[in-house]
Amino acid sequence: MKLARRVEALPPYLFAEISKKIAAKRAEGVDIVTFGIGDPDLPTPKNILDALHKAADEPVNHRYPESEGLPELRKAITDWYERRFGVSFDPEKEALPLIGSKEGIAHIALCFIDPGDVALVPDPGYPVYEIGTMFAGGETYKVDCTRESGWLPDLEAIPADVVAKARVLWLNYPNNPTGAVAELDFFERAVAWAKKNDVAILHDNPYCDVAYDGYRPVSIFQVPGARDVAVEFNSWSKIYNMTGWRIGMVVGNATMVDALMRVKSNIDSGIPQAIQRMAIEAVYGPQDSIQEHNAIYQRRRDRIVEVLRKVGLEVDTPKASLYVWAKLPEGVTSADYAARLIDATGVVVTPGRGYGTNGEGYIRLSVTTPDDRLEEGMRRLEAWAG
């Protein structure tokens, strides 16, 4: 049996490898405290679950859904964008539900990338941007983002021969893994650059409502003209603690949205309608849970930052996202630090190298660890590093 070359070349997914390491340690009887994946530990709000329970009893929701989603859901998506960012979209042409935003992020490369085409991907960045490009037969050019630049890319520094072959530019703010944010002036420059170079912008914005200290993240569509060149991915996973229900969305340029819809309609059969009803309730129901959850995450963020600094790591306090990004001492690799930490203490952190070359020398910790386990993990880290 011979597998396709694209599968042979496929690296293990970062969190799949971490999960294997955790499973092996647990099999040895080790009590694991994990700060790995950004998966909210707080439950989905009750009103949203009640909508699922009600919808599950309706026979119409027992049948195949449509790939484009319920009209009511597309309207809920556009209403949410109007309410949150003050921008309007046509729910028929400029909004599309996704089976979690990760699904759309992986599939949209098929809409733009042919063999030999280039995707501009931030380094460090979410690994799926590069993997989707590989599946489409394209090439990835890593755009440097560094602490000194505020983890923002210098688009003018991309070589002209690379830009000539580029079809898409991936952006992600608030950022995973760094927690960095971008303001409207950056997006204005990015939109102008994309128009000048005929490159589509794919903005990944799932942490827009996970923010602290009164900060309010922006949408690229608050920039005039962004709709000409961009789409934005978003998700209910982080906003309403719905990671397990797998529902997200993409909005923006109608031609780009339609292209993804055509790909999806040939690949999947859409989101179960009972889950779509949950998402509709999430948009129109009470919103109190967002600030309640953020208050918990902010308290955890502060505790993690305090301990990391105490043990000698450099940390910039994030304004948003579910992550704390910490710089290790010079000469210490992220994989070695993470391996020694789990072996010595049972505490799991994510090596920054998994997000790209510029992630080397950093580790990422998620704030989605329950309070009691977070305190236990911080206690172990302090004792080990001390």
pLDDT of residue 19: 76
Distance of alpha carbon 144 from alpha carbon 156, whole angstroms = 12
User: What's the pLDDT band for 41 if we cut at 50, 70, 90?
Assistant: very high
Cβ neighbours of residue 208 closer than 8 Å, sequence gap 6 or more = 84, 174, 217, 218, 219, 234, 239, 320
User: 193 vs 113, 151, 175, 345, CA distance in Å?
Assistant: 19, 18, 20, 47
pLDDT of residue 15: 64
CA pseudo-torsion sign 178, 179, 183, 184: positive
User: What's the pLDDT band for 374 if we cut at 50, 70, 90?
Assistant: very high
pLDDT of residue 321: 98
For the cut 90, the answer to whether the pLDDT of residue 259 exceeds it is yes
Residue 226's Cα: distance from chain center in Å? 20
User: What's the pLDDT band for 21 if we cut at 50, 70, 90?
Assistant: confident
User: Which tens digits make up the pLDDT trace of 91-146?
Assistant: 999 999 999 999 999 999 999 999 999 999 999 999 999 999 999 999 999 999 99
Distance of alpha carbon 162 from alpha carbon 361, whole angstroms = 27
Q: Which CATH class is domain 47-284?
A: alpha beta
User: What's the pLDDT band for 14 if we cut at 50, 70, 90?
Assistant: low
pLDDT of residue 1: 86
CA pseudo-torsion sign 345, 381, 124, 130: positive
pLDDT of residue 327: 98
First to last CA, the chain: 52
DSSP string computed for 261-284: HHHHHTT-----HHHHHHHHHHHH
Question: β-pairing, 230-235 with 200-204?
Answer: parallel
Instruction: Specify the amino acid at residue 292.
Output: E
Arithmetic mean of pLDDT, 35-47: 94
Indicate the average pLDDT of the chain: 95
pLDDT of residue 10: 76
User: What's the pLDDT band for 66 if we cut at 50, 70, 90?
Assistant: confident
Domain boundary assignment for the chain: 5-43+288-385, 47-284
User: What's the pLDDT band for 386 if we cut at 50, 70, 90?
Assistant: low
pLDDT of residue 20: 79
User: Which tens digits make up the pLDDT trace of 204-258?
Assistant: 999 999 999 999 999 999 999 999 999 999 999 999 999 999 999 999 999 999 9
Specify the 3-state DSSP secondary structure of 177: coil
Instruction: Specify the amino acid at residue 349.
Output: V
pLDDT of residue 187: 98
- The residue assigned the tokens 């997914």 is 13
Distance of alpha carbon 73 from alpha carbon 66, whole angstroms = 12
pLDDT of residue 13: 63
CA pseudo-torsion sign 182, 187, 189, 191: positive
Give the whole-number percent of the chain exceeding pLDDT 70: 98
Distance of alpha carbon 42 from alpha carbon 40, whole angstroms = 5
Specify the 3-state DSSP secondary structure of 320: strand
User: What's the pLDDT band for 356 if we cut at 50, 70, 90?
Assistant: very high
DSSP string computed for 104-171: HHHHTHHHH--TT-EEEEEES--HHHHHHHHHTT-EEEEEE--GGGTT---GGGS-HHHHHHEEEEEE
Q: Which CATH class is domain 5-43+288-385?
A: alpha beta
Angle at CA of residue 191, ends 187 and 196, nearest 5°: 150
User: Which tens digits make up the pLDDT trace of 306-330?
Assistant: 999 999 999 999 999 999 999 999 9
pLDDT of residue 65: 93
Phi, psi of 69 (to 5 degrees): 80, 165
Q: Per-residue b/e over 292-305, b at no fewer than 16 CB within 10 Å?
A: ebbebbbebbebbb
The pTM for the full model equals 0.95
